[in-house]
Structure 1
Amino acid sequence: MPASPSTARALNDRRALQLLQEEGPLTAGQLKNLTGLSRPSVADLVERLQDGGLITVVGESGAQRRGPNARVYGIVADRAYLAALDVRTDSVGVGVADLLGRTLAEATLSVEEDVPTEQAVEAAVALLERTAREAGAAPLHTVGIGAPGLVDPATGELRDSTGLPAWHRGLVRVLQERLPATVLVENETNLAAVAEQRRGGARAHGTFVLLWLGAGVGAALVLDGKLRRGASGGAGEIGFLPMPGTRGLPSAIHCDGGFHSLAGGAAVQELAAAHGVTTGPDAPATLAAALGAGERAEPFLDALTERLALGAASVAAVLDPGCVVLGGELGLAGGKVLAARVEARLAQLSPLRTEVRAGELGGGAVLGGALLVAREAAQDELFAPAR
């Protein structure tokens, strides 16, 4: 059954906006060539999008030809402003961007462990409001939040998780109540996977698993192009995976004894010290130094490779993703050298061929992923056809 004229127009408008997002400013002639539409259809499309305040003339074509230069159209970047929050156990990172995804401002706030919940929440909200205001990006249209813990797939709410600060849930609730913006919450590792797929180490991969390696560990599953969250939002909680070589077993309330005990930041520091490697201020710095230390650091690197390969082998055996990305701060510090080590060891542990790639965005992947999700949500609303 053919689409109605109004539906066809809506589809054409959305396609043109996507092209302007991906390709940058275009002339009507370029839109015609890229969409395959007739010249009159493109002229009508451009007029509709201009009347809707979604695109505007941003310049003229510099092509040498007879007659006037062609107008160049681009998305109105300040049609909506976006924000992202990377909520860690001891800090909050904020980023503000326009509708094109261009970052306008960033800021970070440390949150001490003994700060009262209400005070921590108010400080984080004030940071967001101040950063947006100073960037000239108020009011905000959509805010994306990346946080550790489980996000209920039915309600989109951050679930109460043992071991995580109470101010996390309080912050999400206050932002949803106080801001006129749409507030979206997603697990931090899932957002990192979104960013690595669009802009980092997982480009061109529709199926992969991101192993998040930072202070804590986690995994995100992207299968057939879709992020998989699981029935309760807990897909990828690999920190709880029971592993050989730990002192016990994880429980329903704590991941001690799981993969976290082998590959979390503190565990990596302990492993380095046990092998006589001088530890830096954190695990990524220690790993970076070890990679440049030559033969004396080989025992530490071999032991770390073994641990990471065990986690990757467990993922490969269940999901067969074909690609595992080592993300987070540790994955970035290890780079291609660590990824190659893990891939070689993984090939010995599993009959399933699995490429191991280094994440390219490090800890910044969470904030980047949150901005991508916020931008897509804003575009879905703003670019929706008028009814």
Structure 2
Amino acid sequence: MTRTVGRGDPRMARQINDRVALDLLADQGPLTRTQLREITGLAQPTVIDLVRRLTDSGLIEELGQVEAVRPGPRPVLYGLRTGNHLVAAADVRDNELWATVIDVAGGPRHTLSRAQDDTPLPEQIAGLVREVIAAAGRSGETPVHTVVGLPGIIDRATGDLGFSWDLPEWRSGMLDPLRELIAGPVELVTGVRLVALAEQQFLDVPPDTQYALVWLGVGLGLTVIDNGRPYLGASGAAGQIGYMPVPGAPVPPVDRIPSAPDGFRGDFQTLAGSRALRDLGRTQYGLTSRSIKTMLTQAMRGQTPEADAFLDEVARRIAVGLAAISSVMDPGLFVLHGETGVAGGAHLAARVEAQLRDCSPLDSRVVAPRFTDWRDAALAGGLRVAKEQGRLLLWGSDGDRSPSTG
């Protein structure tokens, strides 16, 4: 499908065509002018002009020639020109900081990490971003766009950190210091949403299909991807499923002031949080492991009646929550992530899917994550968002991502 622009809009037509070509080169790698013409449906003179314009502006460059298959001139391959603009992603979780950078046009990725210290958190994040930029050989460069993943709720009205059990001192006070210290555009995103965006590229679902990533750890979280984008809710708090009332869990009053090291033990969290599952294994099934990760691993290897019963009960508890989510959002697919989801892998996912069939009439698949390290996933998702925003800033609007015939 092409997008027709009025006769008086040749400049807009060129901008749309340029952005479509740049996105194709970013997604598919180097292409010839003939390949660009075949994919976009644009006329040959339009493609020739487009390639010349993007080459003169320094956005693309010649990268060699196609291997000869018959006599005659070999077509030239064009690709994005790297080395001009960096984007960055950082993530904060479990007293660790991670940061990574990549050129907006692609190329090698550089990553660093360190433990948190007593320095104000924005200074630590900005300092690590500067360090990883220097490690990439681009010391002193300001990223075109930086995405920071945080545990908690990002307020949609302000873009700042809202409610967070893990970072109570930085509620509504994280964004401005980061922008000043990094000296460029900074966007805060809930870490679970970044993980969901990273997993999306591996899922066998149509682009317009909903899928849900469920974070199963000490805390519980949910991100629903709808038409390729995270569903945020009115305030940005969509996905706080730890507070979701479910059968079999107590319904305590909400304590809005953090008063315990584990935060508010909400309804579903009381049933399926990693500490609740670990206590379940110890008290009812005689499992003595200190972590839910080790407990699940040993139970899957044990093949005893006690281990099998424990795994079934873990799966049942998770499925109860998924059934509640299904009745509202009806996602076609659940990805189980976090400490519990990664440790349980495909074995636990299959058990949860079977249990879900028993407590919900809605058919949803349940699968294990492709990223087994949440840090890799969060950074990959952060770079995806940063590159999208960086390209928007540098390359302009993509219209409807269809070439213009104007």
Same fold (TM over 0.5): yes
Displacement after TM superposition at 1:247 (Å): 4.9
State yes or no: 1:8 paired with 2:43. Answer: no
State yes or no: 1:342 paired with 2:352. Answer: yes
Identity percentage of aligned residues = 37
Please tell me the residue identity of whatever aligns with 1:313.
A
Displacement after TM superposition at 1:16 (Å): 1.0
CA 1:287–1:158: 2 relative to 1, 3 Å:
same
Displacement after TM superposition at 1:166 (Å): 2.1
**1:56 aligns with one of 61, 76, 80:** 61
State yes or no: 1:216 paired with 2:219. Answer: yes
Tell me if structure 1 keeps the 8 A contact 2:91–2:150: yes
State yes or no: 1:106 paired with 2:99. Answer: no
State yes or no: 1:283 paired with 2:286. Answer: no
**1:88 aligns with one of 78, 84, 93:** 93
CA distance in 2, matches of 1:90, 1:258: 26
Q: Please identify, of 339-348 and 61-70, the stretch whose mean Cα deviation from structure 2 is larger.
A: 61-70
Please tell me the residue identity of whatever aligns with 2:72.
G
Displacement after TM superposition at 1:10 (Å): 1.6
CA distance in 2, matches of 1:205, 1:214: 29
Displacement after TM superposition at 1:250 (Å): 5.1
Tell me if structure 1 keeps the 8 A contact 2:102–2:108: yes
CA 1:252–1:13: 2 relative to 1, 3 Å:
farther
Please tell me the residue identity of whatever aligns with 1:56.
E
Please tell me the residue identity of whatever aligns with 2:309.
P
Q: Please identify, of 368-377 and 358-367, the stretch whose mean Cα deviation from structure 2 is larger.
A: 358-367
**1:371 aligns with one of 372, 378, 383:** 383
CA distance in 2, matches of 1:284, 1:250: 30
* Alignment of structure 1 residues 25-40 onto 2, 5 Å: 25-40=30-45
**2:341 aligns with one of 331, 334, 341:** 331
**1:198 aligns with one of 187, 196, 201:** 201
Tell me if structure 2 keeps the 8 A contact 1:101–1:372: no
CA distance in 1, matches of 2:317, 2:123: 40
CA 1:163–1:74: 2 relative to 1, 3 Å:
closer
Tell me if structure 1 keeps the 8 A contact 2:160–2:174: no
Displacement after TM superposition at 1:181 (Å): 2.2
Tell me if structure 2 keeps the 8 A contact 1:95–1:103: no
State yes or no: 1:360 paired with 2:370. Answer: yes
In structure 1, the partner of 2:275 is 266
CA distance in 2, matches of 1:96, 1:27: 28
CA distance in 2, matches of 1:292, 1:234: 38
Displacement after TM superposition at 1:160 (Å): 4.4
In structure 2, the partner of 1:230 is 233
SS at structure 2 position matched to 1:97: strand
Tell me if structure 2 keeps the 8 A contact 1:16–1:31: yes
Residue by residue over 1:248-277, the C-alpha shift from the partner in whole angstroms, topping out at 9 and shown as x without a partner, is 525152531422222223223223323222
* Alignment of structure 1 residues 146-161 onto 2, 5 Å: 146-161=149-164
**1:249 aligns with one of 249, 252, 255:** 252
Q: Tell me the C-alpha RMSD between the 2 structures.
A: 2.4
Please tell me the residue identity of whatever aligns with 1:334.
G
Residue by residue over 1:327-346, the C-alpha shift from the partner in whole angstroms, topping out at 9 and shown as x without a partner, is 22432222222111111111
Please tell me the residue identity of whatever aligns with 2:11.
S
Residue by residue over 1:11-61, the C-alpha shift from the partner in whole angstroms, topping out at 9 and shown as x without a partner, is 211111111111111111111111111221111010111122211111211
CA distance in 1, matches of 2:15, 2:130: 35
Tell me if structure 1 keeps the 8 A contact 2:123–2:181: no
Please tell me the residue identity of whatever aligns with 1:19.
L
* Unaligned 5+ runs, structure 2: 257-262, 399-406
In structure 1, the partner of 2:260 is none
SS at structure 2 position matched to 1:78: coil
Displacement after TM superposition at 1:325 (Å): 1.6
Structure with the bigger RCO (C-alpha within 8 Å, sep 6+) is 2
Please tell me the residue identity of whatever aligns with 2:236.
G
Displacement after TM superposition at 1:169 (Å): 5.9
CA 1:100–1:246: 2 relative to 1, 3 Å:
same
Tell me if structure 1 keeps the 8 A contact 2:159–2:175: no
CA 1:18–1:273: 2 relative to 1, 3 Å:
same
Tell me if structure 2 keeps the 8 A contact 1:190–1:220: yes
How many correspondences in the alignment? 381
Please tell me the residue identity of whatever aligns with 1:183.
V
In structure 1, the partner of 2:331 is 321
Q: TM-score, normalised by structure 1?
A: 0.90
Q: Please identify, of 7-16 and 239-248, the stretch whose mean Cα deviation from structure 2 is larger.
A: 239-248
State yes or no: 1:383 paired with 2:383. Answer: no
SS at structure 1 position matched to 2:230: strand
CA distance in 1, matches of 2:342, 2:384: 20
CA 1:202–1:261: 2 relative to 1, 3 Å:
farther
Tell me if structure 2 keeps the 8 A contact 1:239–1:260: yes
In structure 2, the partner of 1:307 is 317
State yes or no: 1:76 paired with 2:115. Answer: no
CA distance in 2, matches of 1:284, 1:200: 24
Q: TM-score, normalised by structure 2?
A: 0.86
Tell me if structure 1 keeps the 8 A contact 2:154–2:163: no
SS at structure 2 position matched to 1:77: coil
